[in-house]
Structure formats: C-alpha cells, structure tokens
Structure 1
Amino acid sequence: MTPPLTARHTPLAIEGFDTAHWRALADKRLDHPWQALPDHVHRSSAGRPWQGLAVWHQVGPVGDLYVPAHSNCVILVRRGNPTQLLQRHGDLVGERLWQRGESVILPGDTPSFWRSSAVRDNIHIDLAPAWLQRAAGGDVALGQCFGRKDPVLAAFADLLLASLDNNASLQPAFGEHIAMGIAIHLVENYALPGERPRTGATLTSRQMRQLTEAVMAGLHEPWPVARLADIAGLSPFHFARAFKMSFGATPHAWVHFQRMELAARLVRDSRKPLLEIALLTGHPSAAHFSHAFRRHWGVTPSDYRRS
C-alpha cells in the first residue's frame, strides 16, 4: 500500500482561498455531509436501515467546496478520471493527483476545503464513530489521509453502491456487517498510535469486572468519576488514568457507549416508548435521548425503529 501524501501545517497560501467563508464553517454542523451539497447527490442510501453507515455517489462540477464539520468519519473513493486535488482538512493542507480508486479519509468533527481540476465523480462512505469504538474496543482517533491506494476501501465503496440495487441492502444486518468490516480496516490501517500502558497503571481484572457489573446494572443512574473510583478503591486522579489504560476509553465515554448499545437493543427489539428507553439509559428526556442517539449512531431512534 503506497504511503499517503505528507500534509503540511497551515498557514499555507492557497490562491483564491476565502478565509471568511472558512471561518464561518466553525458555526455550522451537518448531520450528513451531503446536506452541504444537495445538487451533487447522484444516488444515496437514504432510507436504508443502516445503523451509523451511509453511502452516496457525488457527481458535481469543478469549483471550490467548503464543507462544515460533522461527527462521522468520511471516506471518499475517486470513481472518475484522475484529478489534481487541493484540500484543507482542519489545520492541514495537502495536494496530489487523485487517481481512480484511491481513497481520501477525513476524520469526524473536521471542516474541509476541496479544489478539483476535473469534475467530481466520487463515492462517499460516512461511518459513525461508534463503529470505530466497537472495532478498537475503546476510543480511537484516525489520521487524516489525503490520498492512498487502498483496494479494500475501493471494494467496499463499489459493494455499497451496487447494493442499492439489491434487496439485501434493505436488511439492517447487511449494513451492520459492512460497517464493522470497514471499521476494522480503518482501525488496523489508519488509527493514530495510542499511548502504551505503563506497568502498574492499569486496573486489575477484578476491578474491571466489578465496575462493569455495577454500571451495567444501573445504566439509568449517574456515574461520576468519583463514584466509579470508589468502587475500584482508588483516588479519582489515579482511577481516571488506570481506567483509560484498561478499557481504552475515558470513564465518561465508556459509560456513554454502554448506554448507546443498550438503547439500540431496546429500540430495535422492544416496543417500549422512547421516553422509557431514555430514562432507562440515563437521559433526562426523550429529546435529549434522541439527540444523543443520532449523534452516536447517525440516525434518530424513531427512524431506526421504523427501519
């Protein structure tokens, strides 16, 4: 696999770059990237019962694009002819000849700028962070990739686009298996190096079991660090570090992930009212729950249940 383009830190002069427009992106946020480019959407998976996964085929003219941040990780695979591509992802800038079948990876929560010398003909895959957490077993951060030949991601893109013409894509399990496959590949090949645990800095297996049993039995309850630390018999300061070393996530992120896993099961497998599910998973209202569910899984609980 060829190495990605080495990006350069800004400030970097980009001819014709609209700084005011770029700064305005900080006040905007999208649920889906295609919301910024409705005229570019040739086909999409809108309406498919895919949890935290979407695919869409972008066809658009040459020109500058400024895209606000969104929570999902985005993979773009070039489908058309090669194009000279200038990009800014957050505070990094890169430029290369983007070849057919090559991938660009944009981590979540990152605004972006795109300038292409040829018409846009790209496949977008949007993946919710929850899938990356599942694949990694905890929090994980992806590096920004400004172009790389990756036959696996190209094959996933072609498969998802082709699936829009097949009834198999109407099954939730189809999207779940594909999403996990993509997530595993991203974690194995694009994750940033993590901090290695130090001797004595992790929890014992007994402490981990006690914490897991306590939290899973009371996901509707508040779980501040002090309460968790008391179960483990540690000070909050030492507990927070040991917890992350052991579970691969902060206490807050881990509890939130467990709540969202339970919420998805209850929405899918029961007919409980959403307010009841909200309360069972530690959310004060149905509106708060719906917002948290959509941010985590990429779809509202109502839409997930209808699918």
Structure 2
Amino acid sequence: MASVKIGRETTSAPAAAGTITLAPRGHAGFWRADGVVEVSNVFLGHKRLLACADQIGNGREPELLDRVNFGDPKLFAIMALINDEVSSGDGIAYLFIEQLLDLVCLQLLRAHSATAIPMAPGPRRGLSERQVKRVTAYMRENFAEDIQLQELADLVNLSRFHFCRAFRLATGQTPYGWLTRQRIAHAKELLKNPTLRIIDVAVIVGYETQSSFAAIFRKVVGLTPSEFRRRL
C-alpha cells in the first residue's frame, strides 16, 4: 500500500506492478510506501513540461494531478524503456532518451493534467529533400558524438516533436533509427580492416562499450561483429 497526504486529504492505493506514481511540482506532502517496492524515478524539469505545452497546444500552464500507484500502461512502458536505455551504456542512448522524455511530457499533458490541453496538429508533410540532406549529413559528420535531438531540430527550425514526425514522413525512419543504421553500415566497412579491434570500431562509430555495440550490431545485422568479421 502507498499513500500521499497533502493538507488534510490522503490518497491511498495498493502497490501493484506496472503502475506509476506522480508527484507534481508544488504539491508538497507526505509520501509513504509500506513494504519493499522496486521503483525507477524520473525527475522532469518544469521548463521542459512548459516547452512541451507551448509546442503542442496553446501554452497554457499545465497543472498535473497527484497519482498513487495509478494504472497507465503507456507511461509505464515509456518509463521502462528509459530505464533500459540508462542501463545500456550505448553511445547514442542519450538521443533515444531525449525522444522518450518528450513522450513522457506528451502523456503527462494528455492523461494526467487537471485541465484538457488541446493538441495542435503537426506538419502534414515531411522534410524537404534539402532538409533531409542537411540533417543526415550532420549525423554522418558527428558519428562519435552524443547528438541531441534538439540539435537536429534546430537545423531545420522545427520543434523536437514536429521534427521527429516530419523526419519519419520523409525517410520512413525515426532519427534514432536512421542514425543507428548509418553507424552500423560504417562499422561493417571498418570491420573489414583486420588491424582494428572491435572495441576500436565501436568507439569510432559512437558506442562507449563493446557490449552495447555488439548488441545493436546483432539486432540490425543478425550477427555479432566477430561473426560478421569471420564471414568476410
């Protein structure tokens, strides 16, 4: 059982796997959980939530609701993905986490706001050919860097939310997916050089550890880097 007491009001709910608890900014209270529980926490800055409200609606100040062991399968799934990415050690995990945090903001505003926030439609068309070339060239030139989603959106003067949708409409892939495939394609060429160790290849294409590189490589190619090299 978990509970929160804010002023004279107490809200309680039984502890259950797959639920979320939300403690909004400015809602000071006494939070309590009985027994042993396993949780993952995300501390979301108020400025980020405001930025999301500005981009998808009319910029109205969001007022989030108190939630205790509340069932929201979508938000829980996003949280689980964030937890996986934080633990991966992947060189491009930051880019993926940035997109996941945007989804957290969207779901909070859509499902956990005291007042309904109208969603403004994004662009109906994808990026132009020139814009795609500019963004993809930037990603190719910065393989080994932690590329932030906002950096890519700024190249074409779009918000992160609208950029992701427009990029996918134009390419059929998310920015994260496109970058991953380009890194792996470059890694396949590097693996043809027997003087390069696999860890060297991993670092060159932007992965901090050999294990994270091998996991992504196998997911895309169907072979580990070592297996791929032996078949050359």
In the superposition, the TM-score normalised over structure 1's length comes to 0.34
The structure with the greater share of residues assigned to helix is 2
The structure with the greater share of residues assigned to strand is 1
In the superposition, the TM-score normalised over structure 2's length comes to 0.44
